[in-house]
A and B are shown apart, each in its own frame.
Chain A
Amino acid sequence: MTEPTEPTGPMRWGRRDVLRLAGAGVGAGVLGSAGLTGCGFGSPASNGGKDSAAKKVSGGFDWKKHKGTTLRLLMNKHPYTDALKAHRADFQDKTGIKLVIDEFPESNYFDKVTLELKSRQGNYDAFMLGAYMVWQYGPPGYLEDLGPWMNNSSATHAEFAPDDFFPNLIKAGQWNFVNGAPLGGKQQWMLPWGFETNTVCYRSDVFSKLGLKPAESFDDLTELARTLKAKAPGAGFDGMYGIAVRGSREWATIHPGFMTMYSREGLKDFRVDGKKLVPTMNTPEAVDFTGKWAKMVRDAGPSGWTSYTWYQASSDLGAGKAAMLFDADTASYFQNTDTAAAGKLAWHPGPKGKDGSLATNMWIWSLAMNSSSKKKPAAWWFLQWATSNEHLLWAATKQQHIDAVRQSVADDAAYKKRLRAVPGFLDTFQAVIDQTKIQFTPQRNFFDATTSWAAALQEIYGGADAKATLDKLAKDLEPRVNG
């Protein structure tokens, strides 16, 4: 077969020319910053609410204003979400807004959130997050500033009462995105929904039978855990081990019991040196503490600890496998119903630090609005209802939505009565609440720092030298958190 003759002369294009042009176009399109921006990078962040959609809301407040809208929520599989689902019909009746809820377990929930926000498609209008997530999701502009919505009386119902939130909880949703800067400021990136202090929950029946008391110092705790592991199985508690704590290779391993005890020992994650963050996980005191923590888990913790998330750690307590749990007070509270250990659990603030400190790290499950949502007004209608006294009081008294983030709910007689029925829970809460705050240094690379920290902890647990491992961690982290 003969090829058709190529035409000749000026401005004649050959196939090779076309291919060359296409190649050049691709290269230019890709390498140009516009091409990169088109892929979702370098997009502008919030401009401080200057052009917030909240400014367009006017007239009197009306719950039915967005009737007929459907909102999609991205939620963590959690009792708070269960409470929301149980109360969903009330919201839908009140507003005419339909809620579609997608739930994912915590181990991959935040990856799902990250990918959703990164896409900037606004598939989900609102979602659950923690205070630390503001440090990562805030700077690229993934979060809607809720301040303008809260401050617009046309958009917010009169009973919303933002001052009713505990101050350190509402403040946890405020940050200026400067590494090392304290929390606070004018912008509100999330609203607190429920929170956790970190305390020790223990099996009162086991302690009674063995004549043991909760530990008052960290060294006592490690010894107590070993004693429980050695003696509990022989006292009729077959297969029971001493203490359950989280151990999976993720940031969530660091923030509950570990960070609480670390803080009580007077230790910090970073030192702020001007504009620079200096890791301090490798000070002699931090090395000593971390080594002891890893040894405690190795000697008296669960087998398979390196895969332990809060689900495993807390369910071991409920199933009667663990004698103690040093984790979120709510995690143990949820195990006091419909489990083998139900009715046999008691709470204690946990060991004090060397100077008597009960410094406690805090986790705040919060609600935020996706800045790419195409239904922001309806999403705000949901957020203000979900964080209102109306829903939170119902959820706290009829469901398992504790700890209360609003003073009015915490003071409610029915709520208090419910908690008083649980031995030591309320007293423990009150003992630590004044010293409960976010103990981490606010910084943009929180997830890298804490995931790497968890990996180091696993290595030390596996027998690696604590000093060498933590020195390496600090050396590796310094350029990454300051980059």
Chain B
Amino acid sequence: MTATPRWRRRLRPYLLAAPAVLLCVGILYPFFVGVAYTVYNFSDANREPSFVGLNNFADILGSDALWHSARVTVSFAVAATAAETVLGVGVALLLHRSSLLGRLLERLLIVPLMVAPIIAAIMWKLILLPEVGWVRPILSAVGVHGYRGTDGAGAAFFWSVVVDAWLYTPFVAILALAGLRSLPNSPFEAAAVDGANWWLTFRRLTLPMLWPYVLVAVIFRFMDCLKVFDIIYGLTAGGPGDATTTLQISAYLEAITYARYSRGMTFMLILWVVVYAISFVLVRYLGRVQNRAAGISAGPSAGAQAGAPAGAAAGAEAG
């Protein structure tokens, strides 16, 4: 057997590291290009961009538009995530019974997940149109008159949440259902022997044991909702007025419609910081919850030890 040549031995570590370096460069280059745009004043109206330092940040952070967009974004994320969590866990509990209907509904559950968000938004837009949609006749039939679709600020926000919930409740339900099915039977049998009713069992046993799974879904959905664009843009385009203008829509308008690339990137960078900070807090909280579920008082995130979906937790961390 011949010895490996020396040059190959020396080169090997670099070759092994090369894919990771390329990956880092591939990810970091566009990111830093974006960051670089924020300190210039690029736009189609200004062909000779100059360095403006942090002016874009000062300008945007000092504008009402940013804070309004941030409020809308966070409100939407909280409302949609809460709705999806409650509905998703509810649906999972209903499906956690072995029956033919349950199995059929389980198959149907994933149908909305197969619909592209922009298609869902347009589909719902048609459903909600007062003149031709289905909602007005239904509301009229139950005695509710004066329906005006997404004309009002409150209505536009409400329906945006509804569409998001319609689309993503199944995602939460599937994760919660997987969690339910992995819970041990013995505590529930003991509770039944002790005569605990359904509500007590749910509050004291099911929910605490299920919470790490639900929390993974909550983190994913909350972060997705912070980055929402297609559903709201397709449904209301950010209107009426700026009632549903999220940070993403502000960035889109700045960068694409108004062709002010630096301002658009500044919006996006601010959104990235917000999402990163919130994700960091949520993922740390998830770690603590998983530790608690595993009976570990301190130490690093122990998703794997806790029997919670470690992969998902890692994914959330990466996200």
A residues near B149, Cβ cutoff 8 Å: 303-304, 306-307
Give 6 A-B contacts (CB < 8 Å), ordered by A residue.
A139-B44, A303-B136, A304-B151, A321-B131, A462-B243, A476-B65
Q: Is the CB–CB distance between A111 and B257 below 8 Å?
A: yes
- Whether B65 lies near A7 (C-beta < 8 A) is no
Which of the residues A41, A136, A455, A479 comes within 8 Å of B239, measured between beta carbons? A455
Among the listed stretches A22-30, A333-341, A389-397, which one makes contact with chain B, having 4 or more residues with CB under 8 Å of it? Answer: A22-30
- Whether the pair A444, B45 counts as a contact (CB closer than 8 A) is yes
Chain B residue at minimal CB-CB distance from A444: B45
Interface with A: B35-43, B167-175, B193-201, which one?
B35-43
Tell yes or no: B61 within 8 A of A by CB: no
B115 within 8 A of A: no
The interface residues of chain A lying within 8 Å CB-to-CB of B9 are: 4
What's the Cα separation between A44 and B243 when bound, in Å? 39
Of the listed stretches A31-39, A121-129, A415-423, chain B binds: A31-39
**A60 close to B (CB within 8 Å):** no
User: Cβ of A42 and Cβ of B47 under 8 Å apart?
Assistant: yes
State which of B11-19, B208-216, B218-226 sits at the interface with chain A.
B11-19
Q: Is the CB of A458 within 8 A of B257?
A: no
Bound Cα distance from A31 to B36, whole angstroms = 6
Q: How many A-B residue pairs have CB under 8 A?
A: 157
B10 near A: Cβ within 8 Å?
Answer: yes
**What 8 A-B pairs have minimum CB-CB distances, sorted nearest first?**
A303-B130, A459-B241, A249-B239, A444-B45, A304-B149, A458-B240, A306-B240, A30-B32
Given contacts A43-B47, A141-B47, A303-B130, contact A447 B242 (CB under 8 A): no
CB-nearest residue of chain A relative to B257? A447
Residue in A140, A447, A464 whose CB lies within 8 Å of B258: A447
A interface, CB within 8 angstroms of B: 4, 7, 15, 18-19, 22, 26-27, 29-31, 33, 35-36, 39, 41-45, 110-111, 114-115, 118, 136-137, 139-142, 248-250, 302-307, 316, 321, 444-445, 447-448, 451, 455-456, 458-459, 461-462, 464, 472, 476, 479, 483
Task: Indicate whether A316 sits within 8 Å of B131 (C-beta atoms), given known contacts A42-B48, A249-B238, A249-B240.
Answer: yes
Within 221-257 of B, Cβ neighbours of A (below 8 Å) are at 236-243, 253, 256-257
A contact face: mostly helix, strand, loop, or mixed: helix
A30 to B31, CA, bound (A): 9
**Contact of B157 with A by CB under 8 A:** no
Alpha-carbon separation in the docked complex, A58 to B213 (Å): 73
Within 8 Å by CB of A39, from B12, B33, B151, B242, lies: B33
The CA-CA distance from A142 to B147 in the complex, in Å, is 45
- A27-B32, A111-B257, A137-B44 known; A303 vs B241 contact (CB < 8 Å): no
In the complex, the answer to whether B259 meets A136 with C-beta atoms within 8 Å is yes
The docked-state distance in angstroms from the alpha carbon of A148 to that of B46 is 25
Interface size class of B (residues with CB under 8 A): 35 or more
Q: Contact check, A306 vs B236: say whether CB atoms are below 8 A apart.
A: yes
A242 to chain B, nearest CB (A): 14
Q: Are A249 and B36 in touch, CB under 8 angstroms?
A: no
B76 interfacial contact with A, CB 8 Å: no
Q: Which residues of A contact B13 (CB under 8 A)?
A: 4, 15
Q: Determine the chain B residues whose CB is within 8 A of the CB of A115 once the complex forms.
A: 256
Least Cβ–Cβ distance between A241 and chain B, in angstroms: 9
CB contacts (< 8 Å) of B29 on chain A: these are 26, 29-30
The answer to whether B25 touches A26 (Cβ under 8 A) is yes
Contact A42 B42 (CB under 8 A): yes
Closest CB-CB distance, A357 to chain B, in whole Å? 30
Residues on B facing A (Cβ under 8 Å): 9-10, 12-14, 17, 21, 24-25, 28-29, 32-33, 35-37, 40-49, 59, 63-65, 125, 128-131, 136, 147-153, 156, 236-243, 253, 256-261
Among the listed A27, A307, A451, which residue makes an inter-chain contact with B253, where contact means beta carbons less than 8 Å apart?
A451
List 15 extra interface pairs beyond A4-B13, A43-B47, A455-B239, CB under 8 A: A4-B9, A18-B14, A18-B17, A18-B21, A19-B21, A22-B24, A27-B32, A41-B49, A44-B47, A136-B45, A137-B44, A249-B236, A303-B149, A445-B45, A476-B63
B256 interface neighbour in A18, A43, A111, A455, Cβ under 8 Å: A111
Given A42-B47, A455-B241, A303–B148 Cβ distance below 8 Å?
Answer: yes
User: Which B residues are CB-close (under 8 A) to A250?
Assistant: 237
Interchain nearest-CB distance for B265 vs A (Å): 11
Residues of A within 8 A of B128 (CB): 304
Give the distance in Å from the alpha carbon of A458 to the alpha carbon of B239 in the complex: 8
CB distance from B62 to the nearest CB of A (A): 11
A353 CB → nearest B CB, Å: 28
Contact B36–A35 (Cβ < 8 Å): yes
Query: In the bound complex, how far is the Cα of B261 from the Cα of A140, in angstroms?
Result: 13
Chain A min CB distance to B145 (Å): 11
Q: Which residues of B contact A41 (CB under 8 A)?
A: 37, 40, 42, 49, 261
B241 near A304: Cβ-Cβ < 8 Å: no
Bound form: Cα–Cα A476–B263 in Å: 14
Report how far A303 CA is from B128 CA in the complex, Å: 11
What is the CB-to-nearest-CB distance from A303 to chain B, in angstroms, rounded to a whole number? 3
A22 touches B257 (CB 8 A): no
Decide: A305 and B151 in contact? CB cutoff 8 A.
yes
Q: For B10, B47, B130, which residue has the most chain A Cβ atoms within 10 angstroms?
A: B47
Cβ of A29: which chain B residues have Cβ within 8 Å of it? 29
Taking CB as reference atom, which chain A residue is nearest B254?
A448
Contacts of B32 in A (CB 8 A): 26-27, 30-31
Q: Closest residue of chain B to A12, judged by CB?
A: B10
Assembled-state Cα–Cα distance A129/B112 (Å): 37
- A19: chain B residues within 8 A (beta carbon): 17, 21
B13's nearest neighbour on chain A, judged by CB, is A15
* Pairwise interchain contact A462-B241, C-beta atoms closer than 8 A: yes
Is B49 touching A458 in the complex (CB atoms < 8 A)? Answer: no
Chain A residue nearest to B153 (CB atoms) is A462
Q: Which residue of A lies closest to B260 (CB)?
A: A448
